[in-house]
Amino acid sequence: MTKYAYYPGCSLESLAVSYNLSAVAAARELGLELVELDDWNCCGATSYFHIDELFAHTLVARNIAIAEKEGLDFVAPCSGCFKNAYFTNEHLKEDPDLADHINYALAADDLSLNGSTKVRHLLDVFIEDVGYEGIKEKVTTPLDGLRVAPYYGCQLVRPRKNGEEIENPQFFEGLISAIGADPVDYSSKMRCCGGSLIVTNRKAALDMVYRLLLDASNRDTDVIATICPMCNVNLEVYQKQVNREYNTNFDIPAMYFTQLIGLALGIAPGRLGIGKELVSMAPSLLA
């Protein structure tokens, strides 16, 4: 079993508990052990950067430093956590003065950072370390005929990390094909779900969710696959509010990619947190 320093992030302890369950279970089935980072703290989402950059980088750096101590890759299932950790790690490598300053702060918790840790998103670990073929080999119940819309959202791909394709990437489609489902081609896959505007500007966020759901539903989507707790919550928990606001009848489940992989690997739905959603995924999966 390959080990990783797993940083679940705060959402995976509450609203996105299904993501946590399914991530750990699906990873194990694929020979990956997600070892939860000891005593991790909140990455700050976007809020730390609204207050002070140095403060924000320090709080993010603490988590990376814990992973560095373990000598394992830092893996986040949340796009926001991933983006924060990735760029803090990069900035500290490029800016020794900043690194010195932050290491002085980290010393208060017996930690230090030298930039040797690789920061990765969980989806990248599945695709790069197991691979489409590796996943295909372990599929016992392919999701034949299920139309799955890959929802990339924002911060996994933006800002660009390392020269990768960001306007129309295909790696998520590849993963969906590997488990036997049909990836839906729709134009909104890179558009924002509204993120925390769901709290701070409800109207704007509901509008953004509405457009995503509309596009997906026009393309006969059975399930939207997500890679971030924030995206999933906005698309799923607020779907009712969208229906009320826009007089629509959307009934499209949003599932974490780890739940879909888990099902294809034959893991029992309960162990993947299936049943905890507000928009039930049962009809499309049983159809």
Partner 1 sequence: MATEITFSDEIANLLYASEGNPLNTCIQCGTCAGTCPAVEYMDHTPRVLIGMIGANLRDEVLLSNTYWSCSSCYHCTVRCPAGIDITGLMYGLKRYSMWKDQHKEGLIGPSFSESFIKMIMRTGRSFEPVLAPTYVTKYGSREMFQEARTATALFFKGRMPLLPKRIKRLDNFRQMVRRIIPLGGPS
Interface with partner 1 (CB under 8 A)? 10-11, 13-18, 39-42, 44-55, 58-59, 62, 95, 101-102, 104-110, 154-155, 158-160, 166, 190-192, 194-205, 207-208, 211, 237, 240-241, 244, 275-278
Nearest CA among 1, 128, 72 for reference residue 63: 72
Residue with tokens 């950072």: 113
In contact, 150 and 184? CB cutoff 8 Å: yes
- Give the span between the Cα atoms of 78 and 185, in whole angstroms: 23
- Omega into 253 within 30° of 0, i.e. cis? no
- Nearest approach in angstroms of CB 144 to partner 1 is 28
- Nearest approach in angstroms of CB 37 to partner 1 is 11
99 or 197: whose CB is closer to partner 1? 197
13 or 144: whose CB is closer to partner 1? 13
- Nearest approach in angstroms of CB 98 to partner 1 is 9
147 or 191: whose CB is closer to partner 1? 191
- Give the span between the Cα atoms of 57 and 70, in whole angstroms: 20
199 or 286: whose CB is closer to partner 1? 199
- Nearest approach in angstroms of CB 152 to partner 1 is 11
If DSSP codes are grouped into helix, strand and coil, which group holds residue 214?
helix
- Please list the alpha-helical segments (H only) found in 71-179: 79-94, 96-106, 122-125, 131-138, 171-178
- Nearest approach in angstroms of CB 206 to partner 1 is 10
- Give the span between the Cα atoms of 253 and 139, in whole angstroms: 22
- Nearest approach in angstroms of CB 105 to partner 1 is 4
127 or 212: whose CB is closer to partner 1? 212
Find the length of the chain: 287
217 or 241: whose CB is closer to partner 1? 241
58 or 259: whose CB is closer to partner 1? 58
Q: Which residues contact 188 (CB under 8 A, 6 or more apart)?
A: 211, 212, 215, 216
- Nearest approach in angstroms of CB 40 to partner 1 is 7
Task: Give the count of alpha carbons within 13 A of 61, CB side only.
Answer: 30
Residue with tokens 């799955």: 148
